[in-house]
Structure 1
């Protein structure tokens, strides 16, 4: 139930912000997000494709491929939910699903994803994204970090055999 709640909360948060952005006039954008010293700009962008508009001319693929991936992830989460361990893995997948479901909703219902903010720093200045995207990256980072930690622990747990024939003083 906890992970379902995380998915619902994150999707709802992103969809709620998208709803607010869509209610405003397009000519009001871009504009600075208050209290960010103009480090974050709000936009009202519509992306009919994958990130950066990739494959936007293939709408059916852009809708069905994420649906297949999300279905697989949801099935995997459902399969591991009864297991007592794997809490980090469950959390990572739930966060990914929270963001992915929000963007899938946009793709299926609106036929485009609403992207609404940009961080004005370095190469990120030209990239406009939404919280759903951040959740997908965050969840993926959690899963990746967990795997790295497992590998490091595994490497350090392998002990080299000690030569018992050597005498020490």
Structure 2
């Protein structure tokens, strides 16, 4: 097995496990977190269920349609993972796949995604999110900088 594929698989497994462990802790403490628990100014832990996707988009869509969409994207990303020789891209694809599968499992179990990270400034709150979302966004960000990193590696210091 190529190193890049192994990196991607380990990233996917790690993202999935971190997401599921943190969500299990939140669900176990749902009663305490329902009204929000301040961690520090600008950040609360809260228990919410989101039946949509990012920022609540597609809220009210049949849960199974979002599962099918996510699986389709994961299959496409898995093909990209197998085809890449870039370790950075493999890491990114794995992070996205692991995060997406974490949210898929929530949809299969609860028909919605468990969100618990609440960032805010004053009274303006960013939509709540979870660790799966962190991995997906981080993976996309890494894919965006991967070409720049490849050029830097080729040109040297």
Residue 8, structure 1, aligned to residue 35, structure 2? no
Match of 1:30 in 2: 36
Structure 1 residues 66, 39: closer, same or farther in 2, change over 3 A? same
Give the length in aligned residue pairs. Answer: 148
Match of 1:165 in 2: none
Bigger CA drift: 40-49 or 2-11?
A: 2-11
Bigger CA drift: 3-12 or 63-72?
A: 3-12
Q: Secondary structure at the match of 2:116?
A: strand
- What stretches of structure 1 of length at least 5 have no aligned partner? 157-169
- What stretches of structure 2 of length at least 5 have no aligned partner? 1-5
Contact 2:51–2:112 (CA under 8 A) maintained in structure 1: yes
Residues 141-156 of structure 1 aligned to structure 2 (within 5 Å): 141-148=141-148
Q: Secondary structure at the match of 2:117?
A: strand
Match of 1:61 among 48, 65, 86: 65
Q: Which stretches of structure 1, 4 residues or more, deviate above 3 A after TM superposition? A: 25-28, 121-124, 148-154
Match of 2:76 among 72, 77, 95: 72
TM-score by length of 2: 0.81
Residues 123-138 of structure 1 aligned to structure 2 (within 5 Å): 125-138=125-138
Q: Deviations over 1:130-153 (max 9, x none)?
A: 111111111111110123456799
**Higher Rg:** 1
Matches of 1:140 and 1:122, distance apart in 2: 29
Structure 1 residues 122, 95: closer, same or farther in 2, change over 3 A? farther
Q: How many Å apart are 1:64 and its aligned residue?
A: 1.0
Matches of 1:97 and 1:41, distance apart in 2: 27
Q: Deviations over 1:48-107 (max 9, x none)?
A: 111222222222322211110011111221233xx4xx1111111111112111111112
